[in-house]
Amino acid sequence: MKHFEEELGDLKQRLLEMGGLVESAIYRSVLAVVEKDAEQAQQVLKNEARINQMEIEIDEFATRLLATQQPMAADLRFLTAAIKINSDLERMGDLAVNIVERALSLMHEPVIRPAIDIPQMAKLTESMVRKSLDSFVRGDAELARTILLSDDAVDDLRDTIYEELLSFMQKDSSNVRPGVNLMFVARSLERLADHATNIAEDVLFLVQGVEVRHHANLKP
Amino acid sequence: MKHFEEELGDLKQRLLEMGGLVESAIYRSVLAVVEKDAEQAQQVLKNEARINQMEIEIDEFATRLLATQQPMAADLRFLTAAIKINSDLERMGDLAVNIVERALSLMHEPVIRPAIDIPQMAKLTESMVRKSLDSFVRGDAELARTILLSDDAVDDLRDTIYEELLSFMQKDSSNVRPGVNLMFVARSLERLADHATNIAEDVLFLVQGVEVRHHANLKP
């Protein structure tokens, strides 16, 4: 039987592997929208089952450790955080699939215009996701805190994109369908940023033992 | 110190209390859209903090029981399910808030038309949420299974609503803004139904020890 420490290491590795799959899914889903790249879209749909399967396995693994090892303090926080991060990652995989579904519709629709802000929003979101996983690997509370701050920038970009798209849709009815699809893409990116923020909050809880969900303890 | 069985009972009670708050939030959010009832909208915003607080408390409570009691078999499944249901309920509270935000925008916008299908979709979603909590209380696997089937009906209604709204938006540019808001309401209702489905899957796992997430074992 493996030593408990070794099992915790395995769990972390599995989460990182899943994180890698999810990052790749997000990256490909954005390419599918921006470059109208159908091959990337198909790849995301193909990898979805693997991500879902990993979620179930990680969940069972973490729960078993939690229930059988009577972990204390730091180990207990790690297992709790792992279960939450796992759930966030699985949901992020779903969001990448949602983006791909919109991308597939957009491929048959007129191009509204070079969608300047969607790639910018995607870049910021992808960077938040990357940093959230890095902060988890390194147990880096400082890095985790920078993610909480980026979330507002993503929300601002989303508002700008919504307003731009609304005005394009009002100007020309042929823009309505692609406009709606791009709005849903922006919405999914915003949700991805929310999940990166959740992971950052879990990292802060893990490193510092401080509950920052719903910004409960962020105020001075 | 309380007996373990008694603590599990407390946990169930707290989840049901939270479920009641979430159900009420969903109901009010739909009234805010359909009846343009600003008071109901404010009530949802007011109750959000309470739901968020309950999530944190339930999570800590369940995790503590999991880590200190070395639960086996049925108790372990119950605690695992409780943690997942708690997370779903919190997210459902967020979705009710999303619906309310759309409702508040819609109050200042032209009425597209008597939105026949949104109330119908809301009614079906609310019934799924209700049944998912009932199936949890009663440990009723049969009831839980009926919820999995309703999910497709909700998706069909959403598609119909999307197409109707798109055609209204294309016909008259003054419909674009309220049309987008109603699409996001439909999207939130669909997500609420997804969470009710998650809860039903957790109940099946709880009662039968069968993993049905991602419909892994639903096929014959």
pTM, two decimals, is: 0.89
pLDDT band at B217 (very low <50, low <70, confident <90, very high): very low
Q: Mean of the pLDDT values across residues B155-159?
A: 94
What's the mean per-residue pLDDT of chain B? Answer: 91
* Beta carbons of B1 and B107 less than 8 angstroms apart: no
B180: chain A residues, CB-CB within 8 Å: 162, 166, 169, 180, 183
pLDDT score of A85 more than 60: yes
3-class DSSP state of B205: helix
User: Whats the size of chain A, residue-wise?
Assistant: 220
The domain limits of chain A are: 4-215
What gap in Å lies between CA B134 and CA B16, rounded to an integer? 9
C-beta atoms of B68 and A71 within 8 A = no
The yes-or-no verdict on residue A2 having pLDDT over 80 is no
* Chain A residues inside the 8 Å CB shell of B177: 166, 170
Quick: pLDDT tens for A20-41.
999 999 999 999 999 999 999 9
Residue B213 has pLDDT above 80, yes or no: no
Which of B220, B158, B154 is closest to B184 using CA atoms? B158
**CA distances (Å), origin B141, targets B15, B144, B147, B195, B216:** 18, 5, 10, 17, 17
pLDDT per position as a tens digit, B60-91: 899 888 888 878 778 888 888 898 899 999 99
* Higher-pLDDT residue of A216, A101: A101
Whole-angstrom Cα distance, residue A2 to residue B83? 27
Sequence letter at residue B141 = A
Residue B171 touches chain A, beta carbons under 8 Å: yes
**Mean pLDDT computed over A76-89:** 90
Nearest beta carbon to residue A166 from set B63, B87, B177: B177
Interface check A83 vs B, CB under 8 A: yes
Of A52, A170, A183, the CB nearest to B173: A170
Average pLDDT over residues B32-40: 95
Question: Is the predicted pLDDT of residue B216 greater than 60, yes or no?
Answer: no
Burial (Cβ within 10 Å: 0-12, 13-18, ≥19) of residue B106 = buried
- Residue A161 parent element (H or E): helix A141-171
Strand extents, DSSP E, chain A: none
Can you give the pLDDT at residue B215?
Answer: 55
Q: Which pLDDT belongs to residue A72?
A: 79
CB atoms near residue A112 (< 10 Å)? 19
Of residues A115, A106, A142, A127, the one with CA closest to residue A27: A127
Average pLDDT over residues A125-150: 94
Give the CA-trace dihedral at B45, B27, B154, A90, to 10 degrees.
40
In this prediction, residue A157 carries a pLDDT of: 94
Q: Is A187 on the interface with B (CB under 8 A)?
A: yes
From A56, A80, A184, residue closest to B213, measured CB to CB: A56
CA atoms of A51 and A56, how far apart (whole Å): 9
The number of helices, as runs of H, and strands, as runs of E, in chain A is 6, 0
Using CA atoms of B91, A98, B200, B219 in order, give the dihedral in degrees to the nearest 10: -160
pLDDT level of residue A210 (50, 70, 90 thresholds): low
* pLDDT number for residue B218: 44
What is the token pair recorded at A204?
């802060």
The matching CATH number, chosen from 1.20.58.220, 3.90.1150.10, 3.30.420.40, 2.30.110.10, for A4-215 is 1.20.58.220
